[in-house]
Structure 1
Amino acid sequence: MVKKAIIPAAGFGTRGLPITKVIPKEMFPVGLKPAIQLVIEEAVNSGIEEILIIVSRTKSLIIDYLDSSLELESFLEKNNKSHLKQKLTLPKAQILYTRQPFAKGLGDAIHLGKNFVGKDPFAVLLPDDIIINKNGSCLQELIDLHHRTSSSVIGLKKVDEHSTKNYGVISGIEMKNNEYELEDIVEKPLTNPPSNLAVIGRYIFNPDIMHHLEDVTPGHGNEIQLTDAIKELLNSQKVYGKVISGTRYDIGIEKEYMKLLTRHYRELES
Structure 2
Amino acid sequence: MVKKAIIPAAGYGTRNLPITKVLPKEMMPICGRPAIDYIIDEAIKSGIEEVLIVVSRSKNMILDYYDHCPELENHLEACGKHHLLKKLELPKVHIQYVRQPYARGLGDAILLGKQFVGNEPFAVMLPDEIILTEPKPALRQLIDLYNLQKGNILGLKKVDRKFLHKYGVVEPESRKDGFIKISDVIEKPDSSPPSDLAVIGRYVLEPAIFQLLEQIPTGKGGEIQLTDAIRRMLSDAPCYGVNILGTRFDIATLPDYVKLINQICGPSAAADE
Give the structure-1-normalised TM-score: 0.97
The residue number in structure 2 matching 1:141 is: 141
The residue correspondences of 1:47-58 to structure 2 (distance < 5 A) are 47-58=47-58
Quote the sequence identity (%): 52
Structure 2 stretches of 5 or more lacking a match? none
Offset of residue 254 of structure 1: 1.3
The residue number in structure 1 matching 2:151 is: 151
Q: Secondary structure at the match of 2:20?
A: helix
The residue number in structure 2 matching 1:242 is: 242
- State the AA in 2 paired with 1:117: V
Q: Secondary structure at the match of 1:162?
A: helix
Q: Secondary structure at the match of 2:266?
A: helix
The residue number in structure 2 matching 1:117 is: 117
Offset of residue 222 of structure 1: 3.0
The residue number in structure 2 matching 1:167 is: 167
Offset of residue 177 of structure 1: 4.0
- State the AA in 2 paired with 1:258: V
Offset of residue 268 of structure 1: 9.1
1:121-171 Cα distance to aligned partner (Å, 9 max, x none): 100000010000122201000000000012110000011111211111000
1:152-208 Cα distance to aligned partner (Å, 9 max, x none): 100000111112111110001232343111100011112111000000000000100
Alpha-carbon distance in 2 for matches of 1:174, 1:84: 51
The residue number in structure 2 matching 1:105 is: 105
Alpha-carbon distance in 2 for matches of 1:86, 1:265: 20
- Number of equivalent positions: 269
Structure 1 stretches of 5 or more lacking a match? none
Q: Secondary structure at the match of 1:92?
A: coil
Q: Secondary structure at the match of 1:175?
A: strand
Offset of residue 29 of structure 1: 1.1
The residue number in structure 1 matching 2:130 is: 130
The residue number in structure 2 matching 1:192 is: 192
Q: Secondary structure at the match of 2:131?
A: strand
Q: Secondary structure at the match of 1:157?
A: strand
Cα root mean square deviation, aligned = 1.4
Give the structure-2-normalised TM-score: 0.95
- State the AA in 1 paired with 2:211: H
1:10-63 Cα distance to aligned partner (Å, 9 max, x none): 000000000000001101111011110000000010110000000000000111
The residue number in structure 1 matching 2:227 is: 227
Alpha-carbon distance in 2 for matches of 1:222, 1:163: 21
Alpha-carbon distance in 1 for matches of 2:268, 2:22: 29
Q: Secondary structure at the match of 2:2?
A: coil
**Contact 2:67-2:90 at 8 Å conserved across structures:** no
